[in-house]
Structure 1
């Protein structure tokens, strides 16, 4: 069991290493001696949120839940197929049986935690016990390290969810992870299969780190957790953060280490690093923010290119094989461009929702893939990600929270395809929207909205219009709005700072400052989402 002192030391080291004083929210701080359980990808607060939102039929959680229920691997009748020896790579490869059973165990564990249905808890337990009672060896060619990493962190997460469930042999399962998976994880991070340290792509390190971190938390082993955190920050291989995102470009873009290889592996890397950061966050260590949010910049780069936009590229050089032969890539690779891997909801909900940062390409990718599915929803070989991020990671924005400095369109919640635009200097809902820069309110509180030409959104004679600032107190108050919780999740109602009984509302596609009415129709007409 890690002590309170050592756990605080981990947090302190992470914050000092980030180069800035970071204050984590209560849910991410150390609450007592030892590790927090459940505390890998999901905490008890997360499960409570999922259950409440699904039971209420709230979106997008309900859509994510429906995606889970529709997946055949989530059935409580699932029959595991455990093996004594798992082989990945080379003759006799059979790793697929393990990949599918991990997905089935996770999906049933989720259904139990959210619905309380015992049949699904029993199914997850049956799968976990079958594998810990059978598996003794993980082998194959070099790809065995990938299986030990990817399925290592996945198995640990399922075991963490099922910790304490009647009939689950936790000790035997934890022993299997420590004896079968962890040695391969550590061997790779230490020796890199006896190749040049830069020979292996970032994903090899990342999955090994994720497994070491997950097993460490599961077994209350502070040394393993420290090892993963330290490697993330300073490791010699390509999975450490400064090597996984080796170059920074203008516009908040960080070139991903595998972007010159192909986009499938780049997307995989974003998913694996997100897993590492989320598990660390739930134990009070902020790797998301390390090195000035370097991970976010790398994810923005991958998202932007895979959404069809051009990105800059700095020639990437490395050394290959055991003789460290020099290699280089001079351009970003289009191979696999547009990958639909279920990894973006996690990243979006941390940076944009939790932290209120501007990440337009991450946001767009998360919106494009919602609701995310999981293993089996993306083809026969797509079991590298547990998935279902729309269900598990979606969080409500704090009431009234808008991202300062971000460019956002204002979209009404009840008029599809329309956003706030302009006609003859007046606010109007159009299909061609204006992207406002959100700035601190000119009147000293709330928010103001600046159009690209420098004019502000303001009210005059109760009409919403676009005007250039004139330096008067009246203008500043007219152009300042308080953001209140809107009628739907993530939406806001914009309340006038100098007429607090009036809010921005659309009627007949025109924007007015109308007196608040307590009716469903008015609340919908006066609720807007700020979207990239």
Structure 2
């Protein structure tokens, strides 16, 4: 049965490719972006240079990184939960070495990234449908697709055979988990939707699949799910669906939404401005509260009906900032000349942005003045 499903997905993917012209590499960054980053590094321009120093020193950025896997089965929970920490580090190393390759030109980084991806492509068989499967596919799949996209279009030694194996892993192991998530009735808190969608959109770009790309955009804008721009963020105040849960998860959701918007921006589509720049409002509300200011709060009636009993905004992890702020500040303030005073105050506290396992991270370099 599994072989049939895999074959079916390959056939479907082959038939829905269109003549839509995608920018490559186009998963978060294009070649112009990397040229700007390299100039910032060379001239030691802050805050970009500060993020570069953190990236450069991180254990997962080293060309001699020692692979922890690969595994035949990976999972965040259940029987194979023991793979979680190691495979997350491996995929971070593939992602960060692809960045290091682009920023240093040292082929050893490209080779390390390719070695990690091909090792998993040769070994990984499936992701079991445990509770956390969509999160795994979304959080880790993004790193894999980003690195693969970079290598495919910039590293000449990435041979067709290796890229084909990596592509098969992406399309037959990770993608079906995301499709299964989309096919279900809404059942999760809102961060899950954009986490899944950022990788779904990345796979669409990798595959030159316009139908998938449009599906990702439509989910972000219109899906019947807690994880859409209209259902996750209040248009009146910027309160997030998970603001009553804690302060970490809203930042996870907002960061994933920003990632989607940045990918779409590179492809010529403006999702940032959706619903009167509602993403900006969500960031400002969250930044304001976590800086210690008061914010309005109403009991949220979520799409599933399962998460509607938080009576007040949660102070759990208040003041702990994830590195997800530069990406939106770059767009709304530096590109569009809008105001984000609370986001700016956050950045004044945390710059330069550093590592975060579940986000692109290193934002003061990757998303500053692009």
Distance in 2 between the 1:138 and 1:43 partners?
30
Q: 1:284 aligns to what?
A: 268
Task: Work out whether residues 234 and 282 of structure 2, in 8 Å CA contact, stay in contact via their aligned partners in 1.
Answer: no
Moved runs in structure 1, 4+ residues, more than 3 A? Answer: 324-327
Aligned partner of 2:139 among 143, 147, 150: 150
Q: 2:10 aligns to what?
A: none
SS of the residue corresponding to residue 236 of structure 2 reads strand
Q: 2:84 aligns to what?
A: 95
Q: 1:35 aligns to what?
A: 22
Q: 1:141 aligns to what?
A: 130
Cα deviation for residue 236 of structure 1 reads 0.3
Cα deviation for residue 126 of structure 1 reads 1.1
Q: Does 1:347 align with 2:319?
A: no
TM alignment of 1:43-82, pairs within 5 A: 43-80=30-67, 81-82=69-70
Q: 1:367 aligns to what?
A: 348
TM alignment of 1:326-405, pairs within 5 A: 327-375=308-356, 383-395=357-369
* Larger RCO: 1 or 2 (CA < 8 Å, sep 6+): 2
Residue 256 and residue 325 in structure 1: after superposition, are their counterparts in 2 closer, same or farther (change >3 A)?
closer
Unaligned runs of 5+ in 1: 5-33, 376-382, 397-532
Higher strand share: 1
Aligned partner of 2:281 among 266, 287, 297: 297
Q: Does 1:170 align with 2:186?
A: no
SS of the residue corresponding to residue 309 of structure 2 reads strand
Distance in 2 between the 1:88 and 1:37 partners?
31
TM alignment of 1:383-532, pairs within 5 A: 383-395=357-369
Distance in 1 between the 2:241 and 2:307 partners?
16
Distance in 2 between the 1:370 and 1:115 partners?
23
Root-mean-square deviation (CA, aligned residues, Å) is 1.6
Cα deviation for residue 182 of structure 1 reads 1.0
Task: Work out whether residues 247 and 314 of structure 1, in 8 Å CA contact, stay in contact via their aligned partners in 2.
Answer: no
SS of the residue corresponding to residue 127 of structure 2 reads strand
Aligned partner of 2:232 among 232, 244, 251: 244
Aligned partner of 1:310 among 284, 287, 294: 294
Q: 2:149 aligns to what?
A: 160
**TM-score, structure 1 normalization:** 0.63
Q: 2:19 aligns to what?
A: 3
Distance in 1 between the 2:31 and 2:308 partners?
47
Higher helix share: 2
Larger Rg: 1
Aligned partner of 2:208 among 200, 210, 220: 220
Residue 329 and residue 221 in structure 1: after superposition, are their counterparts in 2 closer, same or farther (change >3 A)?
same
Task: Work out whether residues 259 and 332 of structure 1, in 8 Å CA contact, stay in contact via their aligned partners in 2.
Answer: yes
Unaligned runs of 5+ in 2: 1-16
Render the CA deviation track for 1:120-178: whole Å, top value 9, x for unaligned: 11111111111111111112521111101111222111111211421352222122111
Aligned residues: 348
Q: Does 1:255 align with 2:239?
A: yes
Q: 1:125 aligns to what?
A: 114
Distance in 1 between the 2:269 and 2:299 partners?
33
Distance in 2 between the 1:325 and 1:150 partners?
24
Cα deviation for residue 72 of structure 1 reads 1.3
Render the CA deviation track for 1:226-261: whole Å, top value 9, x for unaligned: 100011111000111110113512xxxx11111011
Cα deviation for residue 319 of structure 1 reads 6.3
SS of the residue corresponding to residue 342 of structure 1 reads coil
**TM-score, structure 2 normalization:** 0.90
Distance in 2 between the 1:98 and 1:205 partners?
22
Cα deviation for residue 325 of structure 1 reads 6.1
Task: Work out whether residues 129 and 177 of structure 2, in 8 Å CA contact, stay in contact via their aligned partners in 1.
Answer: no
Distance in 2 between the 1:392 and 1:326 partners?
34
